[in-house]
Each structure stands twice: as structure tokens, then as C-alpha cells.
Chains A and B, each alone.
Chain A
């Protein structure tokens, strides 16, 4: 079974930060349609700060995720600070100490991250939040591995489902958070959290796929 190295994959978090910072204006723009327009600003601030702390070091993926989670929780606030902060902290807890990340570990990491998000937030799938990206992606990954697909194929399924999940939020009415106050007026636009979540998850999958190797 293929896997990827934890210690050699810390740069995946730097790639996530690059993608989030590149999308700063875009994320704020979609947030501005139904939220207060600061999603990109706050996300870029948090991911950028984490990248600054990580860029000269040699952190592995678990350690880098822990740093990112810590920065988001302790510096960003809002709703996204605790939600993504918990997600990355829980991710790191599962993989920290593991030399290689195989599909079972990757899946366990996703489930723990989801549990962390659900512990602080109260959203459900269909509420027009980042869960609409996260949950279908996780389910697609598990379904692919249960079908006997390779790690790489399961990661492709994971990314495709994340993007499809993100796009599904266009037709949803927000049930939670600031956008929910708009009722029907929240329909017709992407959810900013679902969009940033797709960026994070697809970057994670790409980075993992590039590093996949057969066990020595």
C-alpha cells in the first residue's frame, strides 16, 4: 500500500498558505456578497502568519498543521479561527508521531478533524458551510478506499468531491452564521468557508499525491 512521509511533507502547509494568500481578494469578495467581506483578509492573515513561522524550519506535516492550528486559534478569532484551528489541531494529533501516512491514517485524520469542527460549531451538512465541502470529500475518500482504489485514486476522488461540495453551496440557503440572517437572499452565491475549505483540501490532496511512494 502506498503512503507518504510525514516528516518530508511539512511544505504542504506552506502550499496551502500560498493558495489562501493568493485567493485573499477572491474569498473576501464572495464573503462580501452574504457575509461581512473579511474572510479572505482574516484567512490570509492567519495562514500567512503560520507560513512565516514555518518557512525556515524543518517541520513535518503533523508539526506544521499543529502550528497552523495554533495560530488560527490564538491569533485569528472570528468563526473561522476556532473551526479551522480545531480541524488542523485534530489533524495533527492523529498523524503526529507517525512516520508514514497511509490511507487508513489519512482517513482517521479527516474523521478526527471533522469531530473537532463539530465540537465547536453546530452546523450540519446542507447549512451552507465548510462542512458541505468537507463531509462529501471525506465520504468520497472512504468510499474509494473501501472499493479497493489506490491512495492516489482515493485522493483524486477526495478533491473532486470537495470541489463538487463547494459548488453545491451555491443553491443552498444559509442556516447558520451571519449569512443565515439573509434567509433566501443567501441563495445563489458560493459559501466563502466552503470555498476556502476546498482550497485547503485540494492542496492537501495534491501535496500528498506528489509525495506518494511504495514502502521501501
Chain B
């Protein structure tokens, strides 16, 4: 595959620099750490700081959700690799407005370790840090092992709602409770049709044979629950809805937000084809779709595929989802 890169080892830094140049009105690079992007509005005195962090290669996640009433700071790692504890620590410091900082991040071994170490370092600075770990990926572990599930595109809702809650003037504990409720109300699934390659590695580290698809694939090509022959968009969308909604088990009449994200190399055109059936399936189950988001919200380099996230809403989550905010990825 032909790529727009300079040196494969510089991909993360080169991309962040270009990102910051494009969105100067909303974000800046930390003066102290080239792997930390900060909202131009941060820190807000007296507001709970909201941060996340994750590997590069998922753009617009994670950096694209930095902004006003969204994430105050984001730590950036190498491609598909957790940011350092030092970067998470710097993001915490940049976001600190004196009311504590919450880190809303995905359930991966490296992120867990680095966030834990960063929280310890921040405690020494006198900054209280709370965490909420996203675990919305249904196929990454069974329902009895929800704490082992990975975090995927449900994090978009987590950041939007957590950011809005913090902007409302809520305390650290209140932001934590609402953020936790958000991710508890989220379920996601990914379907992969083609693999992706880390430029420094040079070849895909997982395969998806032509004519097949991986149902339940993770954001780094982690295997799903089954490999099967590629079906029509309508059949795939029905399977995705079934897996997500069976796990979700929502009462009839529940209002939901739906997010269909491309994984990098799938055209928007096809995401709308999927949504045509997704909308029908969700509605047929007696659920009401409050809002729908379609686009490349959380990608995996050039993976071909899509993810579906369903968030169950209540009045609080609805108003926070609709709250005013601006960031490069959701203008």
C-alpha cells in the first residue's frame, strides 16, 4: 500500500503537528510535552479537568475531541500504543483547574498501567484524579466479564457527556458518576473487512481473507467472535444490531443515541447503507432513536470496516449529549 509518510518512526509526531496547525482556534500543543494536545480553553478555573489518551492511528480520536466543553487535554502515544505515564501526567496538569481531573480512557493493558502511574504522580502534585474506563466492546469478553472488555467508539459519547457534565460545574465525583453511567449504558461492535498495517512494521499483523469478514473485530485487529463469508450490508447491519442489542437488553421505549463509525478505509456512502438497516432494526425492537451520528469518529488506520455503538439515554444524558461544545472532530 502507498502511504503519505515521512519516516515511519515519526508518524505520531508528524501527524499531531499537522493536526494542531489545522485547528489553532481550538487546540494547542503543550509547551512541555510534544505528545500532549490541550484545548485553548483549558484550564478552566474551578472546573473539573477532563482528559483522555491513547495510541495514534485512530484519528480523529483521540486528539480530535479536544476542545471547549469537551476534553481539556489528550495524551498521545505511538501508533496503536499507549501514551507514556509522563504524557498522561502532563495532560492532567494542563487540564487541572483546581477541581480535580478525570481521565476517561479505554480498557487496554498499557493505558491502565500508564494512567495508574500518572495518577500517582499527579497525587504528588496535589491534583485529585478520578478515572472511568471504557469497556463498551461487546465481543471482546462475555457479559460476565465486562471488566475485561475493551473500550471502543463508546468513548466518543463518554467524552462528549463527561465533558459537558464537567462544563456544567459538577464536582469530580458527579462527573465520575455520570461518565460511568454513560459507559455502562454503551454497547459497541466492530466488523472488519480488511486489515491495517503499522508503517514501521510494514505488513498487516492480522489477516482478513478476501470474501470474508471478522465479526467483533477490535480497534487494533484483535480477533472477534467469528470469521464468516461476507454478507450483504443489510445482513451485516442486522447481525451487528442483534449482537449489541441482545447484550444491551433495553426496555421497550428506551431512547438511544446511535453512532456508526468507519474504521478508516470504508466510504461514508457505505456507512449510510449500514445505517439504513440499523435504524430499521433498532426501531423494530421498540427503541426510539434520539440522535444518530455517522462518520469516521474512531478509526484504525486504513482498516476496512465499521463499528456500531448504541447508547441508552435518560433525561440527564440527553441534555448533556446536546450541550454546546466544539472540537475539531465534532463541529
- Which residues of A approach B to under 8 Å, CB–CB? 28, 32, 35-38, 41-42, 45, 73-83, 120-121, 176-178, 181-182, 185
| B247-280 contact mask (Cβ, 8 Å, vs A): 1 or 0 | 0000000000000000000000000000000000
Whether B116 lies near A120 (C-beta < 8 A) is yes
Whether B198 lies near A73 (C-beta < 8 A) is no
Whether B201 lies near A82 (C-beta < 8 A) is no
Whether A36 lies near B198 (C-beta < 8 A) is yes
Describe A's contact surface by its main secondary structure.
Answer: helix
Whether A38 lies near B79 (C-beta < 8 A) is yes
Whether B83 lies near A36 (C-beta < 8 A) is no
Q: Shortest CB–CB separation between residue B105 and chain A, in angstroms?
A: 13
| B72-90 contact mask (Cβ, 8 Å, vs A): 1 or 0 | 0000011111111111000
| B219-230 contact mask (Cβ, 8 Å, vs A): 1 or 0 | 011110000000
Query: What is the bound-complex CA distance between A77 and B89, given in angstroms?
Result: 12
Most chain A CB within 10 A, of B114, B140, B223, is at B114
| B86-127 contact mask (Cβ, 8 Å, vs A): 1 or 0 | 110000000000000000000011100110110000000000
Query: What is the bound-complex CA distance between A126 and B82, given in angstroms?
Result: 24
Residues from chain B with Cβ under 8 Å of A42 in the complex: 78, 81
Smallest CB gap from A45: residue in B: B9
Residues from chain B with Cβ under 8 Å of A76 in the complex: 78, 84
Whether A77 lies near B77 (C-beta < 8 A) is yes
Whether B222 lies near A181 (C-beta < 8 A) is yes
Most chain B CB within 10 A, of A37, A45, A74, A77, is at A77
Which 9 residue pairs spanning A and B have beta carbons closest together?
A37-B205, A77-B84, A79-B110, A78-B81, A74-B86, A32-B205, A177-B109, A82-B113, A78-B110
Smallest CB gap from A80: residue in B: B110
Residues from chain A with Cβ under 8 Å of B80 in the complex: 36, 38
Q: A38-B79, A38-B81, A120-B116 are in contact. Are A77 and B201 (CB under 8 A)?
A: no
- Which residues of B approach A to under 8 Å, CB–CB? 9, 77-87, 108-110, 113-114, 116-117, 140, 150, 198, 200-201, 205, 218, 220-223
Across the interface, B113 reaches (CB within 8 A) one of A28, A37, A38, A83, namely: A83
Residues from chain A with Cβ under 8 Å of B113 in the complex: 79, 82-83, 120-121
Whether B201 lies near A28 (C-beta < 8 A) is yes
Q: Shortest CB–CB separation between residue A115 and chain B, in angstroms?
A: 14
Query: What is the bound-complex CA distance between A69 and B140, given in angstroms?
Result: 32
Additional pairs, 19, CB under 8 Å, beyond known A36-B80, A77-B82: A37-B201, A38-B80, A41-B198, A41-B201, A42-B81, A45-B9, A73-B86, A74-B85, A74-B86, A75-B84, A77-B83, A83-B113, A120-B113, A121-B113, A176-B109, A178-B108, A178-B220, A178-B222, A181-B140
Residues from chain B with Cβ under 8 Å of A35 in the complex: 205
Between-chain CB contacts (< 8 Å), 14 pairs: A36-B80, A36-B205, A36-B220, A38-B79, A38-B81, A41-B9, A73-B86, A75-B84, A79-B110, A83-B113, A120-B116, A121-B109, A181-B150, A182-B223
